[in-house]
Homo-oligomer: A and B are copies of this chain.
């Protein structure tokens, strides 16, 4: 972001947003109580409680809102920040979809960001991951960007990208996350769920737990591919480790067949196994997602996988919703929502 005069100049190009209501709240979570009696003037843990494992949501409702809000859930190492301003300073999906008339809820999942109070402890270690993220999030092969990658190459853009990372404050737990997400959907009423990466797994579980999830738009789900018991495909080894499917009761899986689902993956996926760790990681995730979509549809569902390069959209990273062509990606999503009469 530039100084305020520059901001004002930039902003003058776009119409002001008319926000009917905005705010934030915590939802879900639990309360842990320590036995004993609290002594006000000699406090110890005894008799005290801890509120934790909730999620945090910031919401905005535009004037004349559409009926279904959109709830956006980030991925690993990220927060709601993922959906706000892009690393190169343009509007992200939060504001783009507000402009399109949707109430938008941005989530910090339990044990992350502003929902940091965890009921389970954890050591936060300063881990140098920048170069691994550059590779794994498919900006390129460090230190080189992929040709034609949809990521601005100014150093300050990469700096912002790296600074969007924020750590877990407790162990990752898809059950804890999806419980809080289900509580959020109880509060929003019927709504559309957008997920990114690691958020994909808790996303499916949320839709199983609360039928207010009326559709899922998943960007590059990376783990948590759930199949009906007895129908699991083999695990898939890659240069970045082995990806294993996960089993759920058939009745739960069946719940995912009630709603339209679309999955988007970006560019620079290898077709054949490769020793390039950052890319090979995604080869198996894409392959598993294809099996997952086939399983949903075999059971009567309505899922679709869009591999962007196959429809002529090239260069997307692991973050298509904040890439240079994110308006084009938003248009794709809008078209999907219109087709499914969700807008």
Contacts and interface: CB of A to CB of B under 8 A. Distances in A.
Contacts of A54: 163
B84 A58 contact: yes
Given A4-B69, A16-B20, A17-B18, A167 B40 contact: no
Interface in A3-51: 3-5, 7-8, 10-12, 14, 16-26, 29, 32-34, 38, 40-43, 45, 47-51
A277 interface: yes
A164 B57 CA distance: 11
A10 B21 contact: yes
A244 interface: no
Interface size class of A (residues with CB under 8 A): 35 or more
A275 interface: yes
A26 B159 CA distance: 9
Interface of A: 1, 3-5, 7-8, 10-12, 14, 16-26, 29, 32-34, 38, 40-43, 45, 47-52, 54, 56, 58-59, 61, 63, 65, 69, 79-81, 84-85, 89, 91-92, 95, 103, 108, 112-132, 135, 141-142, 159-160, 162-167, 169-170, 187-189, 239, 275-278
